[in-house]
Structure 1
Amino acid sequence: MGRLATGEMKRLKPSKAALAPLGKQGVSAYFLLGIIAFLWGLNYAVVRVGLESLDPMLFLMLRFGVSAILMFGLLRWKEGSIGISPGDLWKFIALGIIGTTMLESFVVVSIDYTTLANSSILSIAPWPIFAAIFAPIFTKERIRRSLIGYGLVSMLGVILVILAGGSFSLDSDLLLGNLLAFSVSVCGGFYSAACIPILQKYSALRMTTWMFSFGTLFMLPFTTKAWGATDWAGIGWSTIGALACNIFVITIICFLLWNKAMPQIGAATASFYRYLTPLAAALSGVLFFQEPVYSGQLVGACLMFMGLIGISLPAARSGTVKQKAGSSLN
């Protein structure tokens, strides 16, 4: 990385256009976050196909590792450099470990140790709460009363969507999986708040590239056995297609757009849009695996949309939320 020259440091700072709203003629940040969260939910069906031939941790490492390599090339082409300030190195390492290695690994592992319903509720429902807790530490984001009220409505909706299609249990045999799933929310809330000060200094592309790089690096020790145990010759086109979709669409495009849009409306507000993910996951089960739809899921979906609309409208009327970095990551 080395010490950066003055000219390169200027290139590191995102332009005013990069930090401005997505444009009067473009899609709003709210709509964009909703679309991305929905795509992440549909991706559950795609991942299920990919895991038929690949170990879960190996799938994750390939997904984020290949994405990071491609993004370094894109970063060099778009911004003319790939470096970061040496003083910020520890911030990217922390984001990589918590926001990529731990978060993504806990999602995959928790499913093996608890029910899908438990994993979905505990990893998604508390996420915005922790984003709201961490937000004042890293930013000066103000938590509105309407955000809390409508957020609870959305949370109730997501719980209904998940419970209607499965059974939630706090059985002691599922304790490890439940704790791992709950840890996803803690890691996700931290990541959502902690990356905003960094996005005020670096572009979404540069921040995401380095976060994925360090996240992949710390995944490597957990994939050593899987490399030799995988039948590489037997991997079919369906698995290759699932991995390619995850790399290009779900990881590179979605993460870049999410990290660009999130600072415009605040970490806590943006986190509630992740409630669309389980709804889309349930829909993907219906479309691709002929899973049944229950009336409770439809009621939950309506509550989620009501809550998200309520969250979005007050912020939209008052203008874009302006983030100011706190002292913790400076």
Structure 2
Amino acid sequence: MSGRDLLLALVVIVAWGMNFVVIKVGLDGLPPMLLGALRFALVAFPAILLIRRPQLPWRWLLAYGATISLGQFAFLFEAMHHGMPPGLASLVLQSQAFFTLFFAAIFLGERLRAASVMGLVVAAAGLALIGLESDAATPLFAVILTLCGAAMWAMGNIITRRFGNIDLVALVIWGALIPPLPFLALSWWLEGPALIEQSLRTISVNSLLALVYLSFVATMLGYSLWGRLLSRYPAGKVAPFSLLVPVVGISSSAWLLDERMSPLQMCGGALVMVGLLINVFGPRLWRRAVPAAA
């Protein structure tokens, strides 16, 4: 990978890692479902007037938007609203990799690799430690909601695999058409019209800046650069960079929000990262080791 493209990859990782701190800032001024509605409305409009719709049936576009956009972020925003720290959220959300493995085995008939199963066991042990340490500061309910968000992200990954080679930016923008109205309906139901009106009437500069970041930096810029990298290099060379997202998420949360994980949560987080590393690099190392042993 060239130095320029390596820099672009790092820009994406920082943008996505900082995303969790920005979500926290946005939630300080807006209720979670309203934040989701406004975020995806800004992603979709006016971009859909400039970007051609991907060549997909509407049912698949609906499935993508309902899972990877609406489902993932409805659970994530609600989890952080209920006390999930941003840094820890960036880590737990990466369990989507293992949900993806299971869903691929169930719906696509893919075989579970030995290294992936080993990585899953290690990461599950780390998540169990994080769950055991959950208390008033990090409620177990918030951890469960984050895992639900990871599962929805994974389901979106399975749906995306059916699309083949497709313009990722166009998919994200047109998929953003799906969430705003369901988010608004959830906001009306869970948060109430009075809170919606008050939040919009008294919206702060910080909330507006958070919306701009979530919509244009984390989503449009992030996916544009990521799609550009995927078009130039094999997925196996680009995907491992995503392992740095929780590193940036945890570091930025500690620096900007003074978030501190307990020793047990740190051990759990380390196990989750080791599990992710085994899942990403384990099969490659196994393929090299087997011929050498033979």
Confirm or deny a common fold (TM above 0.5).
yes
1:222 paired residue number: 186
Q: 3-state DSSP class of the match of 1:219?
A: helix
Relative to structure 1, the CA distance from residue 302 to residue 56 in structure 2 (aligned partners, 3 Å threshold; closer, same or farther) is: closer
Q: Distance in 1 between matches of 2:284 and 2:12?
A: 19
The answer to whether structure 1 residue 105 and structure 2 residue 74 are counterparts is yes
1:82 to 42, 53, 56: 53
Q: 3-state DSSP class of the match of 1:202?
A: coil
Task: Judge which range, 187-196 or 105-114, deviates more.
Answer: 105-114
Q: 3-state DSSP class of the match of 1:214?
A: coil
What pairs with 1:167-182 in structure 2 (closer than 5 Å)? 167-168=133-134, 180-182=145-147
What pairs with 1:267-278 in structure 2 (closer than 5 Å)? 277-278=245-246
1:213 to 166, 177, 180: 177
Relative to structure 1, the CA distance from residue 113 to residue 209 in structure 2 (aligned partners, 3 Å threshold; closer, same or farther) is: same
How many angstroms does 1:58 deviate by?
A: 1.7
8 Å Cα contact 1:138/1:197 also seen in 2:
no
Give the letter aligned to residue 82 of structure 1. Answer: R
Task: Judge which range, 99-108 or 64-73, deviates more.
Answer: 64-73
8 Å Cα contact 2:53/2:171 also seen in 1:
no
How many angstroms does 1:298 deviate by?
A: 5.5
2:162 paired residue number: 197
Task: Judge which range, 238-247 or 222-231, deviates more.
Answer: 222-231
Give the letter aligned to residue 149 of structure 1. Answer: M
1:128 to 88, 94, 97: 97
How many angstroms does 1:243 deviate by?
A: 1.6
1:46 to 22, 28, 42: 22
The answer to whether structure 1 residue 285 and structure 2 residue 253 are counterparts is yes
8 Å Cα contact 1:42/1:280 also seen in 2:
yes
Relative to structure 1, the CA distance from residue 65 to residue 39 in structure 2 (aligned partners, 3 Å threshold; closer, same or farther) is: same
The answer to whether structure 1 residue 247 and structure 2 residue 215 are counterparts is yes
Q: 3-state DSSP class of the match of 1:230?
A: helix
How many angstroms does 1:109 deviate by?
A: 2.0
Q: Distance in 1 between matches of 2:48 and 2:144?
A: 35
Relative to structure 1, the CA distance from residue 126 to residue 63 in structure 2 (aligned partners, 3 Å threshold; closer, same or farther) is: same
Give the letter aligned to residue 212 of structure 2. Answer: A
8 Å Cα contact 1:121/1:159 also seen in 2:
no
Relative to structure 1, the CA distance from residue 307 to residue 113 in structure 2 (aligned partners, 3 Å threshold; closer, same or farther) is: closer
How many angstroms does 1:116 deviate by?
A: 5.0
1:237 paired residue number: 205
Q: Distance in 2 between matches of 1:122 and 1:147?
A: 18
2:35 paired residue number: 59
Give the letter aligned to residue 222 of structure 1. Answer: L
8 Å Cα contact 2:133/2:265 also seen in 1:
no
8 Å Cα contact 1:71/1:205 also seen in 2:
no
Write the deviation string for residues 194-238 of structure 1: whole angstroms up to 9, x where unpaired. 11221x153112221221111223223234525422253x43332
- RMSD over aligned CA atoms reads 4.3
Aligned positions, number: 275
Identity of aligned residues (%): 20
1:147 paired residue number: 116
1:13 paired residue number: none
8 Å Cα contact 1:99/1:215 also seen in 2:
no
2:150 to 185, 208, 219: 185
Relative to structure 1, the CA distance from residue 142 to residue 314 in structure 2 (aligned partners, 3 Å threshold; closer, same or farther) is: same
8 Å Cα contact 1:157/1:302 also seen in 2:
yes
Q: 3-state DSSP class of the match of 1:213?
A: coil
Relative to structure 1, the CA distance from residue 306 to residue 105 in structure 2 (aligned partners, 3 Å threshold; closer, same or farther) is: closer
Give the letter aligned to residue 116 of structure 2. Answer: L
How many angstroms does 1:123 deviate by?
A: 5.8
Relative to structure 1, the CA distance from residue 35 to residue 201 in structure 2 (aligned partners, 3 Å threshold; closer, same or farther) is: same
How many angstroms does 1:152 deviate by?
A: 3.7
Relative to structure 1, the CA distance from residue 136 to residue 296 in structure 2 (aligned partners, 3 Å threshold; closer, same or farther) is: closer
How many angstroms does 1:279 deviate by?
A: 4.4
